Amino acid sequence: MKNQRSKFAKVLIANRGEIALRAVKTAKKLGLQSVAIYSTADKSSQHVLQADEAICVGPAPSLKSYLAKNAIIHTALSLSCDAIYPGYGFLSENAEFVDLCEANNIKFIGPAADSIREMGDKSTARKLAVKNNVPVVPGSDDAYESRDEALLASKSINYPLLLKARAGGGGRGMQIVTDGSVFAEAFQRCSAEAKNAFGDGYIYIERYFEEIRHIEVQILGDGRGKAIAIGERDCSVQRRHQKLIEEAPAAILSSESRQQLHETSAMLAAGVKYEGAGTIEFIYDPKTTEFFFIEMNTRIQVEHPVTEVLTGVDLVEAQFLIAQGASLNNIYPEQNSSGHAIEFRINAEDWEQNFAPNPGIISHWSPPKMPGVRIDSAVYEGYQVVPFYDSMIAKLIIHADSRDLALLRASDAFRSFAIDGIKTTSGFHQKMLRNNAFLNNEISTRWVDEVFLGDNR
C-alpha cells in the first residue's frame, strides 16, 4: 500500500511525553487541529492538557493503549482525524499500522508501509544497503533461526562477532561472541531472548568492532525519489548500546568523510523512494576512516533536536509538510549549519544504582533559562513520573559556536537545573562534563560501560 501524501486538517498524535507535546505545538503552528490520546496513567500529562481534544484509549500497559492499533484508528475515525503522527517508539515503525491507516483513509505522517517493511528487518536492510553499494559491516548474508546454519555462516567472519536480532531495536537483542567455542550457546540464548522480546528469533551475524563511533545521518525524503541529508550526529556516548548524549556535527569526521556519509545516506533513501524523516546509522572506525551501515530508523529520532538547532531545520514540521505533499526544495532551499550542538538525555533513573528506574513525583522542577539552551520535555512541578514507559523525562539541548563552548554552556545549564523528588541521570551528565576523555572527544561506543562506569558485563 502506498500511504499517499495528502492535505489534512486534524491530526491524532499517537504518542506520549515530549514528542507528543512537540507534535501538538507543530500542529498549532501549522493551523491544524490536534487530538491527543492517552492511557489512564497519563491523564494529567502536558500533551493531553495542551491538545485541542484528548481521549483516553486504554489502561496503562502500552499494549492496551499506545500500541492498541484498532482503538487508535477507531478514535481517529470517530473524531474525524485525517492524519496520525506516530513520533518515535510505539507504532512509529509498525507497517501493519500504516496499512490500517491507509485502509481507513487516514494519512500516516511517515514512510510507506513497504519502506518500513524493507528497513524494519535489519537483515533485509543490510541486503538493500549492499544492493545500493553502501558498505555494510562484514557479516552474514541472512538471518537464521537454526544454530547449525548460523554456525556455518559464521565461519567466514572474523571474531569477535556480534549476534543481532533482525527485529531488534532500542539497544536490545544483541550479543557479543568472543570465540568459536561459545558461539552455539550464545546463539541459542540470543535467539531465545529475541523470540521473547520481539516475537522473532531470527539472528544475523556481524563482525564486532571494538573501537568505533556511532555516526548517523538525518535524511528527509519526498517519497518520489528525491532525498537530502540534513547533517550527521555522533551518538557514541552509549550505555549498553543505548544513547545518552548526542552531538552534531560529528567533530572527528574529515570534510571528505562527512560528505561521503551524507551522499551515501541520501542515495540510499532516494533509492527506496523514502518519504519523510529517517536516520541512516553507521559505525565509523576512526583509525581507518571506514564507515559501515548498521541500520535505518524509519521515524523521527529521539536526538533530532541537535540537528534542528544546528541547521535551523524544524524536522517535525518537515514531517508534517512532506506528508502533505510539499517538495523538499520548497521547504529548505539550502542548508546553513553553524556551531556545535549537544543533547543530554535526562532519564528518571538512579544512575549510581545501575540506572535503575526511579519513578515518582517531581517535587521541584526548575529548568535553566539561558541563551543557547533548549529543553524538550513534557513534565512539570508536581508531575508524577509513571513506571510504565520509557524513563526519559527531558532532553537538554545546547547550542554554541564551538564544541568547547557548548560543553561549558552545558555545565552552566546543569548547575542551574533543579530537579527534586526523583533521581535522574543529570548527575551522570555532570560527571561526564568533568571527564577529560569526553571533553577531548576521545571515546568510543564501549567507553561509558568499560571505562567511565567500569561495568564489564
Contact partner, 116, from ligand ADP, Mg ion, none, Cβ < 5-8 Å per class: none
Instruction: Say if residues 367 and 394 touch (Cβ distance below 8 Å).
Output: yes
Instruction: Say if residues 193 and 145 touch (Cβ distance below 8 Å).
Output: no
H/E stretch holding 148: helix 147-154
Size of the site for ligand ADP (CB under 6 A): 28
H/E stretch holding 330: helix 328-331
Give the cell for residue 287. Answer: 583509525
Cα 126–chain centre separation: 18
Instruction: Say if residues 174 and 186 touch (Cβ distance below 8 Å).
Output: no
Task: Output 25 or 241, the one with its CB closest to ligand ADP.
Answer: 241
Provide, rounded to whole angstroms, the least separation between the CB of residue 125 and ligand ADP: 10
Give residues 227-246 in contact with ligand ADP (rule: CB under 6 A): 238, 241-243
Task: Output 255 or 456, the one with its CB closest to ligand ADP.
Answer: 456
First-to-last CA distance in the chain?
Answer: 44
Task: Output 222 or 232, the one with its CB closest to Mg ion.
Answer: 232
**Catalytic amino acids?**
299
3-state secondary structure of 128: helix
Contact partner, 241, from ligand ADP, Mg ion, none, Cβ < 5-8 Å per class: ligand ADP
Give the cell for residue 242. Answer: 543505548
User: What are the strands of the beta sheet with 203-207, ordered from one edge?
Assistant: 172-177, 161-169, 203-207
Provide, rounded to whole angstroms, the least separation between the CB of residue 79 and ligand ADP: 26
Give residues 390-429 in contact with ligand ADP (rule: CB under 6 A): 390
Residue ranges that bind Mg ion, judged by CB under 5 A: 281
Which residues contact residue 263 at a Cβ distance below 8 angstroms, ignoring those fewer than 6 apart? Answer: 229
Provide, rounded to whole angstroms, the least separation between the CB of residue 359 and Mg ion: 26
Task: Output 132 or 324, the one with its CB closest to ligand ADP.
Answer: 132
- Confirm or reject binding of residue 280 to ligand ADP (CB under 6 A): no
Peptide bond into 86 cis (omega under 30): no
Provide, rounded to whole angstroms, the least separation between the CB of residue 281 and Mg ion: 5
Provide, rounded to whole angstroms, the least separation between the CB of residue 206 and ligand ADP: 4
What is the contact surface with ligand ADP in residues (CB under 6 A)?
88-89, 137, 162, 168-171, 206-209, 212, 214, 238, 241-243, 281, 283, 294-295, 297, 301-303, 390, 445
